[in-house]
Structures are given as C-alpha cells and as structure tokens.
Amino acid sequence: MLELNYPLLKSVKVDNSLTIFLNKKFDFYIQNIKEQGQVDKAYNNFNNGFQTPNLLLWKDKEFKNFLNNEILNLLSKKFFFKKNQIKYKWVHMLKYESGGKMEAHRHMHNEDFVFFIYLNSCKSSGETIFYLNNFDENSLKRTKISVLPKKNLGLCFSSLLVHEGFESYEDKRIFVVGFRLS
C-alpha cells in the first residue's frame, strides 16, 4: 500500500547555524551587487524591498553545497520527502524594507511545494498570511492563518495555497525554496 504524507502547511524549528549561514550569504550577495552597481535593478522586483533572482543560477559553490546538503537533508528529515524526488525550481531571498509587502499569490505554476526560513524575527508587522480555502470571500476569512516571522522558523506548504506578505516595518528577511517532486 502506498503511504502519502504531504503537508498543506507545516512549521518546524530550524537550527540557528542554518539561519546564520543564510544571513551571511544574503549579506554577501547584497554587497556584491552593490559593488557591481546593480542594486537599482534588484530593488525593483517588489514593493519596498529586495528580492534576489533565482539563486540556483548563482555560481557560489559554498551556497550550492549548502542547498544540496543542508537544505535537502532538512526537507527530507522534517517533512519526509525523499531526497531523490526533490527537484529545486526556484531559490531566492527577500528583504522587506519599511512598508514592504508581497501581494497575494501562489506558486503552482512553478513548483509543488514552497519552503520558507525566516532569517530574523519581527515583533509587530510583516505577517505571512496563508489562505487554506479560497473558494469565496467568506472561506478566505474563515480559514486564514497568520504567521509572524520568527528567526529559525521554517514553513513548508503546498504551492496551491494563496499567501501574502503583509507590510513590514522591521526589515523582514526570508529564504525561499520552491521544489517539485518527481
């Protein structure tokens, strides 16, 4: 008998060493694009913030090794995905600046699941809102889950879920991985 266990939305605690590494790499990436004079292009990706392009194309060997070992192991151990089934489609990092937000969207056109790691905590703004049912307006309101960013919190969710990032005034940072299962 085939046994399936795919999360709609599941949270886990992520080891602080992973968050430290990701923040270090994010700072390194931002510094490099500043030195290359490419900051203006990168900051146009979303409202009041910064989003990297797809980091699967980044030639940083240490980062690629981290993805193919640490993140792959985490996805396998915490969410029970088989490592050989996971195919990364998109990897990026986001930094929300004062008033930064992300409109409601879903990822089903690119991937099957999305994994976030919050790289810092926010005390009073920047919630990620997940809508478990978007059939009609009443369902949206009834099945809304709000998650305030907390450093070392990981979230894995189905790419079918509509979600949005509410305005943040606390420089919210997120690491995002989208993947398909084969």
Give the model confidence (pLDDT) of 89-138 as tens digits: 999 999 998 888 888 899 989 999 999 999 999 999 999 999 998 777 78
Q: What's the pLDDT at 46?
A: 61
Contact 47, 101 (CB under 8 A): yes
Q: Which two three-digit tokens encode residue 166?
A: 């509410």
Q: What's the pLDDT at 44?
A: 44
pTM score, two decimals? 0.91
Q: Which residues of the chain have pLDDT under 50?
A: 41, 43-45
What b/e string do you get for 145-171 counting C-beta neighbours within 10 Å, with b at 16 or more?
eebbbebbbbbbbbbebbbebbbbbbe
Q: What's the pLDDT at 34?
A: 72
Contact 164, 71 (CB under 8 A): no
Residue whose structure tokens are 């049912």? 133
Q: What is the dihedral of CA 83, 110, 162, 120, to 10 degrees?
A: 60
CA 7 to chain centre: 15
Q: What's the pLDDT at 136?
A: 77
Measured from the Cβ of residue 121, the count of other Cβ atoms closer than 10 Å reads 15
